[in-house]
């Protein structure tokens, strides 16, 4: 009966040993699969780290681009402030040039800003994808580590069970040769132990996980938020610049329209005085006030309305004088020099020209060079240059009013 008990214990030990070896086989397969999963996760994690570094470099480049755009906008704002200071004293041509420069600067700023915004959006999307991939890798590594630890525990349990079963077989005086022949096809414990050792070495060779990746990602996100704030500042600056350009354009149009209407009105008043009748006006040649040209139409008395190119020399002179005096009335100066403007005029037109000059002399002092007798008679003071000796000039001045008074007194 004791032999039967030993045999029963031997059979139970053989079955337990076989079950333990199957458990070890399953553990080996699980360790191998976990090792492959961990290796794939590590590769994905490394790729995510490389992509994160590339994204950080691109963000730094974008920061440099945004800094350059900020400097350009600061320069544009400086030029805009200078343009505002000079706006009151600039003529229409200079104002058009300044406005064109401002429009060109705005176009360049908009182009650079659009490129920076597109680059920032692309980098932000790429950074988000890399962050998601990194988090997925981190989440995938944790279960694999837990699985490996569990398999190690199971392997230790299997080895302990094997030792206990071998002890029971020796106590039961079981035939180990028959047991080994029955289990010849099964892997040897040494082989299994070698495989386990190899897997453990491979796991150790993996090294530590890059724990600094999370800090690097946080820094990259902070940099991204900083760049987003800078981009918002750029958008605000561009909006301010566009508003300033619109205000300058509107003010330029308003002032130019007021100036044009005033000069046109004054010309319409002065032209009949110089011609003894007729009419003249200024006409814009385009719809856009800042880009349009100005054409002069004059109709002397007794003639059809015609362009200034169809007038005679004297008529052109009087028309030009009416335009000059019209602008002079808009912004009169204390002094005006006229150089032989009466040369093409006959006596009647010269007399009307002199009457207009005399009427405007209440606010402006006129100095004119002339050889016309009628013009000289109108002057209050005469100054002539004579040359009694070759190479020697002498000035002779006459106070006309004093001379007339002396004649009347005599």
Tally Cβ neighbours within 10 Å of residue 272. Answer: 16
203 — pLDDT class (breaks 50, 70, 90): low
Does residue 369 carry a pLDDT above 60? yes
Does residue 404 carry a pLDDT above 60? yes
For the chain, give the mean pLDDT.
77
- The mean pLDDT of 360-370, rounded to a whole number, is 88
In a domain, 394, yes or no: no
In a domain, 259, yes or no: no
- Give residue 30's domain range: 2-253
**Tell me, what CATH number does 44's domain have?**
1.10.287
Q: What is the pLDDT of residue 303?
A: 80
Q: What is the pLDDT of residue 91?
A: 58
DSSP string, 106-144: HHHHHHHHHHHHHHHHHHHHHHHHHHHHHHHHHHHHHHH
* Total tally of structural domains belonging to the chain: 1
Distance CA 292, CA 288 (A): 6
Residue recorded with tokens 């069970």: 161
Instruction: Report the candidate in 342, 335, 338 with the shortest Cα–Cα distance to residue 318.
Output: 342
- 232 by Cβ neighbours in 10 Å (0-12 / 13-18 / 19+) ranks as exposed
Tally Cβ neighbours within 10 Å of residue 240. Answer: 13
- The mean pLDDT of 14-36, rounded to a whole number, is 74
Does residue 380 carry a pLDDT above 70? yes
In a domain, 327, yes or no: no
Q: What is the pLDDT of residue 262?
A: 92
pLDDT in tens, 205-220: 656 555 666 677 788 7
Instruction: Report the candidate in 361, 275, 364 with the shortest Cα–Cα distance to residue 321.
Output: 275
Give the SS3 label for residue 298. strand
H helices present in 172-184, as ranges:
176-182
In a domain, 339, yes or no: no
Tally Cβ neighbours within 10 Å of residue 159. Answer: 16
In a domain, 278, yes or no: no
Tokens of 216: 């690097």
Does residue 292 carry a pLDDT above 80? yes
Tokens of 351: 């007399």
252 — pLDDT class (breaks 50, 70, 90): confident
- The mean pLDDT of 236-261, rounded to a whole number, is 87
In a domain, 396, yes or no: no
183 — pLDDT class (breaks 50, 70, 90): low
Give yes or no for a contact between 351 and 273, defined as CB atoms under 8 angstroms apart. Answer: no
In a domain, 269, yes or no: no
Give yes or no for a contact between 113 and 135, defined as CB atoms under 8 angstroms apart. Answer: no
In a domain, 318, yes or no: no
Q: What is the pLDDT of residue 171?
A: 67
> Which distant-in-sequence residues (6+ apart) come within 8 Å of 234 by Cβ?
66, 69, 70, 73, 113, 116
- The mean pLDDT of 7-22, rounded to a whole number, is 71
- The mean pLDDT of 303-319, rounded to a whole number, is 80
Tokens of 42: 């590590």
Question: Which of the residue ranges 78-82, 177-181, 326-330 would you say has the lowest mean pLDDT?
Answer: 177-181
- The mean pLDDT of 147-158, rounded to a whole number, is 75
Does residue 264 carry a pLDDT above 60? yes
Pick from 42-56, 136-150, 220-234 the range whose average pLDDT is largest: 220-234
Q: What is the pLDDT of residue 5?
A: 66
Using alpha carbons, list the distances in angstroms from residue 223 to 60, 70, 191, 230: 8, 17, 54, 10
Does residue 325 carry a pLDDT above 60? yes
92 — pLDDT class (breaks 50, 70, 90): low
Query: What percentage of the chain carries pLDDT values higher than 90?
Result: 3
Tally Cβ neighbours within 10 Å of residue 258. Answer: 11
CA terminus-to-terminus distance, the chain: 182
Pick from 11-15, 213-217, 297-301 the range whose average pLDDT is largest: 297-301
H and E: helices and strands count for the chain: 9, 7
pLDDT in tens, 65-91: 777 877 777 777 777 777 667 655 655
Beta strands in 264-334 (DSSP E): 279-284, 294-299, 306-307
Q: What is the pLDDT of residue 192?
A: 64
């Amino acid at each position: 009966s004791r032999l039967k008990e030993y045999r029963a214990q031997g059979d139970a030990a053989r079955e337990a040993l076989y079950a333990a070896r199957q458990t070890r086989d399953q553990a080996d397969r699980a360790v191998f699969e976990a090792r492959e999963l961990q290796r794939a996760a590590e590769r994905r994690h490394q790729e995510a780290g490389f992509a994160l570094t590339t994204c950080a470099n691109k963000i730094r480049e974008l920061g440099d681009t945004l800094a350059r755009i900020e400097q350009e906008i600061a320069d544009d704002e400086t030029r805009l402030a200078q343009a505002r200071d000079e706006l009151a004293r600039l003529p229409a041509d200079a104002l058009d040039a300044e406005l064109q420069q401002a429009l060109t600067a705005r176009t360049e700023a908009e182009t650079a800003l659009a490129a920076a915004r597109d680059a920032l959006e692309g980098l932000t999307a790429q950074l988000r994808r890399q962050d998601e991939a990194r988090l997925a890798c981190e989440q995938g590594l944790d279960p694999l580590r837990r699985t490996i630890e569990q398999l190690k525990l199971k392997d230790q349990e299997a080895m302990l069970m094997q030792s206990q079963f071998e002890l029971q077989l020796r106590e039961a005086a079981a035939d180990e040769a028959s047991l080994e022949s029955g289990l010849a096809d099964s892997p040897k414990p040494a082989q299994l132990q070698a495989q386990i050792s190899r897997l453990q070495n491979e796991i150790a060779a993996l090294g530590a996980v890059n724990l600094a990746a999370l800090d690097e990602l946080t820094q990259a996100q902070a940099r991204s938020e900083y760049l987003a704030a800078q981009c918002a500042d750029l958008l605000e600056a561009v909006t301010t610049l566009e508003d300033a350009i619109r205000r300058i354009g509107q003010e330029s149009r308003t002032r130019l329209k007021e100036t044009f209407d005033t000069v046109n009105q004054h010309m319409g008043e002065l032209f009949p005085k110089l011609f003894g009748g007729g009419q003249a006006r200024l006409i814009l040649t385009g719809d856009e006030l800042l880009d349009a040209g100005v054409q002069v139409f004059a109709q002397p008395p007794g003639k059809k309305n015609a362009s200034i190119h169809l007038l005679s020399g004297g008529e052109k002179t009087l028309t030009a004088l009416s335009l000059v005096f019209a602008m002079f009335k808009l912004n009169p100066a204390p002094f005006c020099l006229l150089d032989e403007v009466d040369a093409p005029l006959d006596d009647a037109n010269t007399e009307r020209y002199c009457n207009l000059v005399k009427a405007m002399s209440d606010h402006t002092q006129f100095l004119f060079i002339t050889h016309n007798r009628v013009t000289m008679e109108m002057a209050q003071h005469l100054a002539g240059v004579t040359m009694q000796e070759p190479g020697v000039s002498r000035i002779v001045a006459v106070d006309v009013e004093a001379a007339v008074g002396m004649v009347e007194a005599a």
